[in-house]
């Protein structure tokens, strides 16, 4: 069995498939003590690392310009080790074992603490480059029925002898794909002991890689997307903000809704004014981006919206995906939105025309955010 | 007389003989029988060269013995601590035609050889062994001790032998024994030349029947230059010595018959022995002389006459005032070093330079004046078919190709007459002002002057790359809470502790193996 204390084994069997695609091998728990040998690995296979880095660069290049990546940073590998441990703990047999969960939590927290929050644009990007495959990760469970009974195989392929002679032995295989979020649901502890809680560890692991956090924003309620200081600080970087907007837009309506709801929750809490302004700008830019990517229509030739329609309306059904952003936009007006986003007012107006006949909701969704950001409402 | 020792034999007739760890029969003492004094010296020299002499010195005893036939032979006794030591001794002894015995007391039997690898034992002891009974496979005879010979006396009596000239090496340290009358002069000479040398006065008794005390200066020179060695060697009254070991010096060009470096324990730690060649004997200085630097004993009093004052020098007065002209010369042209091109040809020259190969262009230097362009470059200026080609007379004096100076004065004299500065190149044009001087600093590489200012457009990147090392702003500082320990900015500097021991890791994780325990079957 592969020993994940070895840098080469971990990189080639876990990190490599996670980045490049393929079969990810989950083994025993990895302790934080491996990080020190991994700083100067003695068994580094440059070919494997080069392949992974090339794929990583290709993936990141879809988000923005990428310079020269020299290797796999250790903080990203530490996060990968944390995710490995969390995946290892999703096995059904590990659910009720409190001592094992306690040890996994302790080790994961130690590695997360060592990795810490990302401080630079490169750290945010490279962490996402290593972990971006998490969104596509799924476990294949196999239920095999044969003439004498049945067998379940969780995450592993059934042995060849069991599925041999399928017609004679009346073998039937049912494969089930379990996506990542269902896997993470298994981390929920049966008891309420905080020492065995792995859900908070998974949340922290998401938070420490902000781009990955945005990329999988549509998560079940237990792991619902929340704004965290590392995520907001990453958005302050224009390049990362653009990448996050494109990823969320590409993910679809569910992700957009999850992010907007998180913004509303954050705005109702203790959100600093600078962060609130940044989130406002982020949502406005995302709305304008979506408006610009829709089918361009001249304002005068655009069909009038029917009377009594909710929302801004003229852009079609996609506009309903960002109610918070559109509400804030309508309340601020073209000019202020353009000034906030640094765009030309004409461009903004063409991208998102405001329907003057829209109805005003009694409880506007963007009110807490605008209040937090100190933005003045303008009646248009 | 003697018989071979069998393997595992433990009883011997020879007194003191016994098997060692390897089964070789040896006694406590080894004896080397040498037929003459010359062989003894050869044996000691070979042992010294081989490095075995210094370890034998503590137990070495040289005895002159008399055989029943009244011949005098030499015996060297050493402690036979092991058969390994005796094997080395026997190898050296065979080289000089000596025989090796072992035993104790008065009976000594032949040491082992190829025929008897475990040695020999005496078949029958001599009735009267005398002072020393030696048993060989060819003889067994008693010897009578004549006298002991001290190795130190032997060393002092031996005269150094000359070394072939080709094998003399330049010494790192040189000693010179200088007669008293020459001392001041030699020391003064060395002091003036700042030679690293030290000097001491030594005295010794002539010895023999004379009570005369001789006196000389002893110089010690560190790494002397070859010319000082040659000079001192050629001086009568000066004898040169080179160190051999730490406590002895041997006359330069000679060597002692026995390596003195292996005999250092025979001389006292403060002693210095000077071995002179030519049968003059050795000088033993009981105390190493106190050397002092030659600068400290040199007299600083000026003995020359008073400095001459008020001397007036008169320059060369008068000259013939001949004009400097260029005349055609029939001598073979030298290499073209420069070309002088009229300024009107500047564009043509520029186009020619632009098509030259880079290696050629790198060797060309250009200077611009108001009327001409001076092109300089050995083997490179000739490629430009413009202007007048110049050849180098030497001393940076150029004359047109195929022309010579009239009067034919050498270039260095011409430079002096022209009062040209050291870094100027002189071009003899033969005009009304026959020499044009261009400073060397005016010549710049031709590659520099080919282009005027090159316009540069500084293009800007659209955005820095994603992996740029740009710090993120801290818009929302991390609040204390559940993840305080994880999110705190200072947590980054802490490295994890050393990896836990494998046993501990196994103990924790062996009970759970998601893959191995992945199958649960029923039915």
Give residue-wise pLDDT tens across range B289-334: 889 988 888 765 555 555 556 666 555 567 777 888 888 887 777 7
A37 — pLDDT class (breaks 50, 70, 90): confident
Q: What single-letter DSSP state applies at residue B348? A: H
pLDDT beyond 90 at B384: no
Indicate the pLDDT class of residue A317, thresholds 50, 70 and 90: very low
Average pLDDT over residues B147-152: 92
CB contact under 8 A, B515 and A155: yes
Long-range Cβ pairs for the range B428-433 (8 Å, 24+)? B428/B324, B428/B326, B428/B397, B428/B398, B428/B399, B428/B400, B429/B326, B429/B340, B429/B400, B430/B324, B430/B325, B430/B326, B430/B400, B430/B403
B residues 87-146 closer than 8 Å to A (CB): none
pLDDT band at B143 (very low <50, low <70, confident <90, very high): very high
What pLDDT was estimated at residue B504? Answer: 35
B522/A150 touch (CB, cutoff 8 Å), yes or no: yes
Say what the pLDDT of residue A298 is. 40
Looking at residue A308, its pLDDT comes to: 36
Asked if B476 and A275 come within 8 Å (Cβ–Cβ), the reply is yes
At residue B455, the pLDDT reads 79
> To the nearest whole angstrom, how far is the Cα of B481 from the nearest Cα of chain A?
12
How distant is the alpha carbon of residue B335 from its chain centre? Answer: 43
Asked if the C-beta of A5 comes within 8 angstroms of chain B's C-beta atoms, the answer is: yes
Q: Decide if A125 and B466 are in contact by the 8 Å CB cutoff.
A: yes
* Average pLDDT of the segment spanning A255-266: 93
**Nearest CA-CA distance, residue A3 and chain B, Å:** 11
Asked if B515 lies within 8 A of A27 by C-beta distance, the reply is yes
- Mean confidence (pLDDT) of chain B: 83
A/B interface, count of CB pairs below 8 Å: 198
Q: How far is residue A187 CA from its own chain's centroid?
A: 18
| pLDDT, average across residues B277-299 | 86
Q: How far is A371 from chain B (nearest CA, A)?
A: 17
Instruction: Establish if B451 touches chain A: CB-CB under 8 angstroms.
Output: no
pLDDT, position B488: 39
Nearest residue of A to residue B490, measured between CA atoms: A116
pLDDT of residue A314 exceeding 90, the answer is no
Confidence of residue A127 (pLDDT cuts 50, 70, 90): very high
> Which of A 70-129 lie inside 8 A of B, CB atoms?
88, 91, 93-94, 97, 100, 103, 109-122, 124-126
Interface of A with B in 302-361 (CB under 8 A): none
Of A152-166, B312-326, B474-488, give the range with the top mean pLDDT: A152-166
pLDDT, tens digit, for every residue of B63-121? Answer: 999 999 999 999 999 998 889 989 999 999 999 999 999 999 899 999 999 999 999 99
Query: Are the C-beta atoms of residues B118 and B24 closer than 8 Å to each other?
Result: yes
Q: How far is A4 from chain B (nearest CA, A)?
A: 12
Residue B142 has pLDDT above 80, yes or no: yes
CA dihedral A203, A209, A214, A217 (to 10 degrees): -20
- B457 three-state secondary structure: coil
Which residues from chain A sit within 8 angstroms of residue B502, using beta carbons?
Answer: 5
Cβ proximity of A112 and A106 under 8 Å: no
B 473-502 near A (Cβ less than 8 A):
473-479, 482-483, 485-489, 491-492, 494-500, 502
Task: Report the pLDDT averaged over residues A236-244.
Answer: 91
Weakest-pLDDT range from A83-92, A169-178, B222-231, B315-324 = B315-324
Q: How confident is the model at residue A191 (pLDDT cuts 50, 70, 90)?
A: confident
Q: Which of A54, A65, A206 is the best mutation test for B, with the most CBs of B within 10 A? A: A65
* Chain B interface mutation, best of A2, A3, A31, A266, highest count of B Cβ atoms under 10 Å: A31
Option in B463, B497, B515 nearest A33 (CB): B497
3-state DSSP assignment of residue B192: helix
User: pLDDT at residue A113 above 60?
Assistant: yes
Q: Do the strands B325-328 and B248-251 form a parallel or antiparallel pair, or are they unpaired?
A: unpaired
Dihedral angle sign, alpha carbons of residues A222, A227, A231, A235: positive
The span from the CA of A142 to the CA of A154, in Å, is: 6
Using CA coordinates, name the residue in chain A closest to B477.
A229
Question: Directed axis angle between helix A74-88 and helix A121-131, to 10°?
Answer: 40
When scoring A84, A90, A119, A158 by the number of chain B Cβ atoms within 10 A, the one with the most, hence best to mutate, is A119
All residues of chain B having their beta carbon less than 8 Å from the beta carbon of residue A68 are 467
Look at A197-201, A376-380, B132-136, B291-295 and tell me which has the smallest mean pLDDT: A376-380
User: Are the Cβ atoms of B496 and A111 closer than 8 angstroms?
Assistant: yes
For A272, the closest of B464, B475, B485 (CB atoms) is: B475
Contact (CB<8Å) A234/B472:
yes
What residue ranges do the domains of chain A occupy?
A: 7-137+185-216, 138-179, 226-298+308-380
A227-251 mean pLDDT: 91
- ipTM of the predicted structure? 0.75
Chain A neighbors of B479, CB-CB under 8 A:
229, 270
Q: Quick one: how far is CA B182 from the chain centroid?
A: 33
**Nearest by CB to B466, which of A156, A207, A239?**
A239
- How high is the pLDDT of residue A65? 83
Check CB contact under 8 Å for B523 and A36.
no
Distance from the Cα of A34 to chain B's closest Cα (Å) equals 6
> Inter-chain contact A110–B496, Cβ cutoff 8 Å?
yes
Mean pLDDT computed over every residue of chain A: 85
Assess whether pLDDT exceeds 80 at residue A379.
no
């Amino acid at each position: 069995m592969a020993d994940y204390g070895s840098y080469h084994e971990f990189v080639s069997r876990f990190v490599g498939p996670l980045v490049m695609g393929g079969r990810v091998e989950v083994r025993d728990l990895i302790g934080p003590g491996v990080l020190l040998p991994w700083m100067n690995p003695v068994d580094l296979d440059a070919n494997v690392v080069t392949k992974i880095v090339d794929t990583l660069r290709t993936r990141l290049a879809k988000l923005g310009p990428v310079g020269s990546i020299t290797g796999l940073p250790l903080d990203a590998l530490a996060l990968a080790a944390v995710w490995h441990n969390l995946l290892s703990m999703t096995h059904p047999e590990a659910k009720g074992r409190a001592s094992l969960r306690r040890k996994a939590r302790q080790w994961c927290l130690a590695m997360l603490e060592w990795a810490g929050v990302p401080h630079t644009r490169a750290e945010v990007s490279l962490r996402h480059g290593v972990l971006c495959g998490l969104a596509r990760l799924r476990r294949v469970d196999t239920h095999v029925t044969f003439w004498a009974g049945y067998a379940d195989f969780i995450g592993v392929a059934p042995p060849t002898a069991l599925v041999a002679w399928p017609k004679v032995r009346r073998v039937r295989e049912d494969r089930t794909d379990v996506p990542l979020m269902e896997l993470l649901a298994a981390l929920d502890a049966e008891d309420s002991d905080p020492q065995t809680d792995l859900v908070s560890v998974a949340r922290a692991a998401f938070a420490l890689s902000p781009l990955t956090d945005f990329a999988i924003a549509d998560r079940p309620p237990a792991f619902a997307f929340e704004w965290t200081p590392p995520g907001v600080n990453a958005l302050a970087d224009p390049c990362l903000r653009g990448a996050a907007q494109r990823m969320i837009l590409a993910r679809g309506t569910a992700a957009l809704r999850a992010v907007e709801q998180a913004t509303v929750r954050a705005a109702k809490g203790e959100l600093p004014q600078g962060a609130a302004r940044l989130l406002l700008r982020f949502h406005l830019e995302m709305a304008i981006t979506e408006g610009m990517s829709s089918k361009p229509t001249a304002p005068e030739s655009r069909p009038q919206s029917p009377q009594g329609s909710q929302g801004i309306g003229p852009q079609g059904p996609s506009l309903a995906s960002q109610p918070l952003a559109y509400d804030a936009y309508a309340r601020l007006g073209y000019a202020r939105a353009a000034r906030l986003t640094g765009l030309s007012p004409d461009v903004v107006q063409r991208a998102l025309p405001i329907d003057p006949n829209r109805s005003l909701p009694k409880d506007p969704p963007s009110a807490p955010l605008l209040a937090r950001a100190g933005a003045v409402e303008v009646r248009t | 007389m003697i018989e071979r020792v069998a393997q595992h034999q433990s009883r011997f007739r020879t007194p003191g003989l016994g098997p060692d760890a390897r089964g070789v029969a040896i006694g406590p003492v080894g004896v080397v029988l040498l037929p003459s004094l010359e062989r003894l010296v050869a044996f000691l020299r070979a042992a010294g060269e081989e490095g075995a002499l210094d370890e034998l010195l503590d137990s070495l005893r040289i005895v002159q013995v008399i055989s029943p036939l009244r011949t005098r032979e030499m015996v060297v006794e050493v402690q036979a601590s092991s058969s390994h030591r005796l094997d080395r001794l026997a190898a050296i002894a065979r080289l000089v035609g000596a025989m090796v015995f072992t035993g104790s007391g008065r009976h000594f039997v032949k040491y082992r050889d190829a025929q008897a690898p475990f040695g020999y034992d005496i078949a029958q002891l001599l009735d009267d062994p005398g002072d020393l009974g030696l048993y060989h496979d060819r003889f067994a005879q008693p010897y009578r001790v004549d006298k002991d010979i001290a190795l130190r006396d032997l060393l002092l009596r031996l005269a150094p032998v000359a070394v072939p000239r080709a094998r003399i090496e330049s010494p790192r340290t040189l000693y010179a024994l200088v007669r008293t009358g020459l001392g001041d002069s030699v020391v003064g000479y060395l002091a003036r030349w700042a030679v690293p040398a030290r000097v001491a006065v030594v005295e010794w008794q002539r010895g023999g029947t004379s009570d005369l005390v001789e006196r000389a200066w002893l110089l010690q020179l560190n790494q002397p230059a070859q010319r000082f060695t040659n000079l001192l060697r050629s001086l009568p009254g000066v004898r040169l010595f080179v160190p051999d070991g730490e406590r002895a010096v041997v006359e330069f060009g000679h060597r002692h018959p026995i390596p003195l470096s292996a005999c250092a324990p025979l001389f006292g730690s403060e002693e210095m022995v000077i071995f002179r060649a030519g049968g003059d004997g050795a000088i033993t200085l009981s105390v190493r002389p106190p050397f002092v630097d030659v600068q400290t004993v040199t007299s600083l009093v000026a003995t020359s006459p008073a400095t001459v004052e008020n001397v007036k020098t008169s320059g060369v007065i008068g000259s013939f005032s001949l004009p400097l002209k260029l005349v055609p010369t029939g001598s073979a042209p030298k290499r073209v070093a420069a070309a002088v091109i009229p300024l009107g040809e500047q564009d043509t020259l520029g186009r020619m330079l632009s098509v030259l190969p880079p290696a050629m262009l790198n060797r060309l230097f250009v200077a611009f004046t108001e009327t001409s362009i001076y092109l300089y470059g050995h083997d490179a200026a000739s490629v430009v078919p413009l202007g007048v080609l110049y050849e180098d007379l030497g001393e940076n004096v150029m004359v047109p190709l195929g022309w010579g100076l009239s009067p034919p004065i050498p270039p260095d004299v011409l430079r002096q007459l022209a009062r040209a500065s050291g870094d100027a190149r002189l071009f003899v044009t033969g005009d009304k002002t026959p020499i044009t001087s261009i400073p060397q600093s005016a010549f710049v590489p031709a590659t520099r002057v080919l282009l005027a200012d090159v316009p540069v457009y500084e293009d800007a990147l659209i955005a820095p790359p994603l992996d740029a090392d740009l710090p993120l702003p801290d818009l929302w500082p991390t609040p204390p809470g559940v993840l305080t320990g994880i999110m705190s900015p200072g947590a980054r500097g802490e490295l994890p502790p050393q990896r836990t021991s494998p046993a501990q890791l196994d103990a924790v994780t062996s009970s759970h193996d998601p893959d191995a325990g992945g199958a649960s079957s029923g039915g």
